[in-house]
């Protein structure tokens, strides 16, 4: 059996060995969809069904595309175009534009809000930054749903901030004029221009279809009308199209994502094969019972079954008096997990909105627990990391008298990496954790790695946003957590007004909030705790807790704010240095 077919469950094997499309893989959370995509491509190459250079694998983030390329390399496959929609479209524009227009392709707008501010100046209006951001989002929605400015006004006749709809329309038109004058395209224009080029230039369409014969699209539930149209133009009337997705994880409808393309794929392609991946390799059965209960009877919902034999721990739900008590209660639980030997990198606290992170960060810092907010500063943009990488790079020009790892350790120690960390919650601790992550990368490098090769890898990782995990607890919004996993998840704020969020008023909006809760639940592998706080305005428990029901949850003990404050405790394991973490590995 070839390497591409090893260690697959029966449903994964069916998907991987179905090399001719159309194929739709309905892949539930934790069922190994990226594994299926990469192993299917590798199997196609191994059997001669695919030529790597004629395969396009499309996903939604540069990081996901980089991970896909890495997994394909590990399977011995090079040359596959694993890209985002935008990267693929931009590459085609840059290649064909000079021939078609006799000039280089337009530049790309680097800051839509700044350009909108200049357009507003030209109109003699001065909207605040928040309004400009919302107008930018409106422009993005209009373009990816393929609407004109007039059609946008008809679909969304309300204003934005203090701008009425006529002013919003004026600002959008001024933005487009200014962009054209500067000969620039924005992010969404790249897709529109590529689709327009393919529609208008048959020779270009023919060349693209000759180049790419086999298409795979990941996260198909998040495809927008514009992306769907571009994909139609790429594929044409050919059959080799595989799409993979999970309707229960559609959490970007507000930005134009439309799960109907996934759910109706078999209807759109009458001879499509449908494979359902429902064996979850991430989570224990009690966690999946909560997820299944929440999504019961929802369109496209899959019934997840755990591949693990362990009975698992029944998730608990806890009511707190207020937000402070909830944050400190979560910090106490995490302290206990760390004291029990859990690696902080395997713990996450998830919430609906960024505003909830401040109280949590404060409580964790008071307990001596270091935490990193996902979606904050990128790792390789941290000043201390940039400086360390520069010094490591400079050290490659001189002979190394000590071992490679010792050289890295000496340089990082000279920059402030001590055996004992500073107190959690400040910039010094953040810098210490970042330097520790660099040292762990060096310690985990393959035998024979040189300092030059190590710094080359660091620079490549910075370019592809392949960031190392710092030895900290992760805090993240539910949107940012999608696609990630942890052994232990604390999902906070499960109250009306927070999840579902207060402005979710329609059936569709509440349904999207339910899917967000589902994404959060299915990030957990071993333990899951849910919590909510009444607060001064007497919130009520989320309707989602009622939908899940008491049959799959156990009640945790409520903790008052004063009691939580009196029980602050810092775990010794939370303050271990990088050498200690290496020994535990």
Pick out the residues of the known binding site for ATP.
Answer: 27-34
Rounded Cα distance between 301 and 495, Å, is 23
Partners of 316 in the β-ladder:
529, 554
CB-CB contact of 306 with 280 (8 Å) = yes
Q: DSSP E strands: which ranges in 12-80? A: 23-27, 55-59
CB-CB contact of 249 with 519 (8 Å) = yes
Closest CA to 548 of 508, 475, 491: 491
Annotated binding site: 27-34
Closest CA to 415 of 436, 384, 381, 440: 384
Rounded Cα distance between 263 and 44, Å, is 26
CB-CB contact of 520 with 530 (8 Å) = no
Closest CA to 384 of 406, 415, 425: 415
Partners of 215 in the β-ladder:
56, 241
Q: Is the dihedral of CA 542, 544, 550, 555 positive or negative?
A: negative
Q: What is the CA 581 to chain-centroid distance, rounded?
A: 27
Q: What is the CA 463 to chain-centroid distance, rounded?
A: 17
Rounded Cα distance between 271 and 34, Å, is 24
Rounded Cα distance between 183 and 108, Å, is 9
Phi, psi of 317 (to 5 degrees): -125, 135
Rounded Cα distance between 249 and 485, Å, is 14
DSSP string covering 153-169: HHH--S-BTTB-HHHHH
């Amino acid at each position: 059996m070839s390497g591409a077919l090893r260690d697959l469950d029966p449903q994964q094997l069916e998907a991987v060995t179905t090399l001719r499309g159309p194929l739709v893989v309905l892949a539930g959370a934790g069922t190994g969809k990226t594994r299926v995509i990469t192993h299917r491509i590798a199997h196609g190459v191994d059997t001669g069904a695919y030529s790597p250079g004629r395969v396009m694998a499309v996903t939604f983030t540069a990081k996901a595309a980089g991970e896909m390329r890495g997994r394909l390399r590990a399977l011995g496959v090079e040359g596959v175009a694993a890209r985002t929609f935008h990267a693929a479209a931009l590459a085609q524009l840059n290649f064909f534009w000079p021939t078609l227009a006799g000039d280089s392709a337009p530049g790309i707008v680097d800051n839509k809000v700044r350009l909108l501010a200049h357009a507003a100046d030209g109109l003699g209006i001065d909207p605040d930054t928040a309004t400009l951001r919302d107008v930018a989002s409106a422009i993005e929605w209009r373009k990816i749903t393929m609407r004109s400015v007039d059609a946008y006004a008809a679909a969304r006749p309300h204003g934005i901030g203090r701008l009425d709809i006529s002013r919003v329309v004026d600002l959008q038109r001024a933005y487009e004029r200014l962009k054209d004058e500067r000969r620039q395209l924005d992010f969404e224009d790249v897709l529109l221009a590529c689709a327009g080029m393919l529609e208008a230039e048959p020779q270009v369409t023919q060349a693209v279809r000759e180049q790419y014969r086999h298409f795979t699209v990941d996260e198909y539930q998040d495809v927008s009308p514009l992306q769907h149209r571009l994909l139609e133009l790429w594929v044409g009337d050919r059959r080799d199209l595989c799409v993979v997705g999970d309707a229960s994880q559609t959490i970007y409808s507000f930005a134009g994502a439309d799960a109907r393309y996934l759910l109706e794929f078999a209807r759109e392609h009458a001879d499509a094969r449908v494979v359902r991946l429902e064996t979850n390799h991430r989570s224990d059965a009690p966690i999946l019972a909560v997820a299944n209960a929440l999504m019961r009877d929802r369109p496209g919902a899959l019934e997840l079954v755990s591949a693990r034999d362990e009975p698992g721990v029944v998730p608990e739900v806890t009511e707190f008096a207020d937000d402070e008590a909830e944050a400190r209660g979560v910090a106490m639980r995490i302290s206990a997990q760390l004291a029990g030997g859990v690696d902080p990198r395997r713990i996450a606290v998830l919430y609906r909105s960024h505003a909830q992170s401040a109280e949590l960060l404060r409580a964790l810092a008071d307990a001596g627990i270091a935490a990193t907010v996902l979606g904050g500063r990128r790792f390789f943009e941290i000043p201390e990391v940039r400086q360390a990488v520069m010094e490591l790079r400079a050290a490659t020009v001189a002979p190394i008298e000590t071992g490679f790892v010792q050289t890295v350790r000496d340089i990082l120690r000279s920059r402030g990496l001590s055996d004992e960390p500073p107190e959690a919650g400040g910039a010094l601790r953040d810098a210490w954790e970042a330097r520790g992550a660099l040292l762990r990368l060096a310690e985990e490098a393959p035998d024979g790695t040189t300092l030059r090769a190590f710094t080359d890898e660091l620079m490549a990782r910075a370019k592809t946003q392949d960031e190392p995990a710092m030895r900290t607890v992760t805090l993240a919004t539910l949107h940012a957590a999608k696609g990630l996993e942890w052994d232990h998840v604390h999902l906070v704020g499960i109250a009306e007004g927070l999840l579902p969020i207060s402005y979710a008023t329609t059936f569709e909006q509440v349904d999207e909030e339910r899917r967000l809760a589902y994404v959060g639940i299915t990030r957990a592998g071993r333990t899951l705790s849910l919590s909510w706080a009444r607060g001064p305005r007497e919130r009520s428990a989320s309707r989602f807790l009622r939908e899940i029901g008491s049959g799959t949850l156990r009640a945790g003990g409520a903790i008052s704010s004063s009691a939580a404050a009196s029980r602050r405790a810092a775990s010794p394991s939370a303050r271990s240095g990088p050498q200690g973490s290496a020994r535990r590995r």
